[in-house]
Amino acid sequence: MVRLLTTLPATLAIFASLHVLGGNAQNCYYPNGDLATGDAACSSNGGACCPLNWECESSGLCYLDSADYYGRYTCTDQSWTDGSCPQICTHNNTATGNEAVLQCSDGSWCCDGDRSWNCCDHDDTDFFPLPQGSQVAFISTVTAPTSGGAATSDTPTPSSTPAPSSCKCIGQYTR
């Protein structure tokens, strides 16, 4: 009986910590405020969200290694006013979905909303600089959003992406 009483507080502490970790899950939203499904928060502190089996980058972008594809996906802040939301290709917070983001040969980046894979070749494209990103998380689990939040992510295995070269850039981070 004495042993049970001495181990009970430790057991309860373990279960309490598991509950707190599970409570960090959050919903993800598109720039226009619509609720997203299939994405999970990259951090328990909120901010950028990425799809299942994608890497979360420190730049706020999501990266799919198997396709060498970057995208701006969603954020845990429905209003997108939090500084941790990726303010890239949001179309002044009216974007209704994700957006492909391409790195051009000069190191600049552009929004490739129509997935034409050639925004780097258009004169009317808004180009922007983007600091070198590194993997901060990998999304291995996504659950359906709820009123209390339900997205989860795992601890990352660090990796890095190539640093963009310097460029002459025009425009801003959002179109």
Non-local CB neighbours of 9 within 8 Å, separated by 6+ positions: none
Q: Which residue has the higher pLDDT, 87 or 117?
A: 87
Under DSSP, is residue 115 helix (H, G, I), strand (E, B) or coil?
Answer: coil
CA dihedral 81, 83, 86, 88 (to 10 degrees): 70
At position 132, the amino acid (one-letter code) is Q
Q: Is pLDDT above 80 for 65?
A: yes
Higher pLDDT, 132 or 159: 132
User: What does the mean pLDDT of the chain come to?
Assistant: 74
What is the spatial distance between Cα 65 and Cα 51, in angstroms, rounded to a whole number?
A: 13
